[in-house]
Amino acid sequence: MKYRKLGHTEIEVSLIGLGTMTWGEQNTEAEAHEQLDYALSRGVNLVDTAEMYPVPPMAETQGRTETYIGTWLAKTGRRKDIILASKVAGPNTDPKRPGYIRSGQMRLDRKNMTEALHASLKRLQTDYLDLYQLHWPDRTTTIFGRPRYPYRDDPYTVPIDETLGVLQDFVQAGKVRHVGVSNETPWGVAQYLKFAETKKLPRIVSIQNPYNLLNRMYENGLSEFSHLEGVGLLAYSPLAMGVLTGKYLNGARPEGARMTLFSRFDRYANPQAQEAAAQYVQVARDHGLSPATLALAFVNQQPFVTSNLIGATRMDQLKENIDSVDVELGDEVLDAIKAVYQKYPNPAP
């Protein structure tokens, strides 16, 4: 396994991080524990979850993913062997976001964040998180596939410095070691850094945003913050919800696959993304690689990536995903990827 620094901290996190959002929906508790055991045996130490998980979000399953991690921690006693990250949900201003958590009161304010953190710690059976992340902003902006800034005036948003002040109290209480953001924009990251400096509040160490061959928007603006400010990317959806494996090509819907089971996962289903995916799959095959390995190795090699958050429902997928850490894409492969990108730049932002 390879490791990279988490922001400006002294924490070394594995380049492959273990995503967990299928646990409790597509994966049982026993399967979740098996994945944890195997991932740690391969040197993975970053485990990422959220109060909202599993996905797709439903009231009857909310929190189950954290519960499964908690029972594994209680059984194994391996809390110090992992870097444990979770997320607090933001406001439910979009139909696809859950409205049942805390009775729909999901603002990033003191009351809601305190309740969220304590509930997560209880489910996880731990007294602290290594990284606590804001799952999405407390404002309307360009996230979750929205391609353009909406120019909408929200009736109310929690000020960013207020949210950071709550996180500061969590850190001072020893319940959170470091803080990060997720699904953020360059403007948002700049605000968090500004208030950290001007008001002596916690500095964000990471940003968890989508990044894959079909969505390289992170490179435009946010990667500069990674380089110059040390806010590293925890890249989610590196396989574009499985589209980059090729299993959905030509309209295929394999039994048990995410896009087969759940119609809400349509971000990478447009014709341009499907055609681009087909060409990336061909690049992989032309160079003797599996499509998943090509897609993951590309993410692994980016200098702004702190950890590549893979997710798997089967053990063979998990093993292949972790194996990608040992694959280095050469210039010929990268040139072929570049050629596809020039034809289909960011077809699924």
Q: Can you give the pLDDT at residue 165?
A: 98
Q: What are the tokens at 89?
A: 């949900």
CA distance 274 to 146: 18
CA distance 159 to 201: 13
On whether the pTM is more than 0.85, the answer is yes
Q: Can you give the pLDDT at residue 95?
A: 67
Q: Can you give the pLDDT at residue 265?
A: 78
Q: Can you give the pLDDT at residue 99?
A: 81
Q: Can you give the pLDDT at residue 134?
A: 98
Query: Which stretch of DSSP H or E encloses residue 177?
Result: strand 176-182
- With beta carbons less than 8 A apart as the criterion, state whether 192 and 133 touch: no
Q: How many helices (H) and strands (E) does the chain have?
A: 11, 10
Domain range summary for the chain, segments of one domain joined by +: 3-208
Q: Can you give the pLDDT at residue 176?
A: 98
CA-based diameter of the chain, in Å? 54
- With beta carbons less than 8 A apart as the criterion, state whether 22 and 30 touch: no
Residues sharing a CB contact under 8 Å with residue 24, sequence separation 6 or more, in sequence order: 32, 53, 54, 61, 64, 65, 67, 68
Whose tokens are 């045996």? That residue is 41
DSSP letter, residue 82:
S
**H-helix segments, the chain:** 29-41, 64-76, 110-124, 160-172, 186-198, 222-229, 258-261, 271-286, 291-300, 315-323, 331-343
- The closest alpha carbon to 157, from 194, 107, 118, 224, belongs to 107
Whose tokens are 């049982």? That residue is 28
**Encoded amino acid at 86, one letter:** S
Q: Can you give the pLDDT at residue 94?
A: 72
Catalytic residues, by residue number, are: 53
Q: Can you give the pLDDT at residue 98?
A: 81
- Work out the number of other CB atoms within 10 angstroms of the CB of residue 349: 17
CA distance 123 to 114: 14
For every residue of 137-164, which 3-state class applies, written as one string? CCCCCCCCCCCCCCCCCCCCCCCHHHHH
Q: What are the tokens at 168?
A: 């500061």
Query: Residue-wise pLDDT tens for the chain (349 aa)?
Result: 999 999 999 999 999 999 999 999 999 999 999 999 999 999 999 999 999 999 999 999 999 999 999 999 999 999 999 999 999 999 987 766 788 899 888 999 999 999 999 999 999 999 999 999 999 999 999 988 888 899 999 999 999 999 999 999 999 999 999 999 999 999 999 999 999 999 999 999 999 999 999 999 999 999 999 999 999 999 999 999 999 999 998 887 888 777 777 877 788 989 999 999 999 999 999 999 999 999 999 999 999 999 999 999 999 999 999 999 999 999 999 999 999 999 999 999 9
- With beta carbons less than 8 A apart as the criterion, state whether 284 and 294 touch: yes
Task: Tell me whether the omega of the peptide bond preceding residue 56 falls within 30 degrees of 0, making it cis.
Answer: yes
Residues sharing a CB contact under 8 Å with residue 185, sequence separation 6 or more, in sequence order: 137, 141, 142, 143, 221, 222
CATH number of 3-208: 3.20.20.100
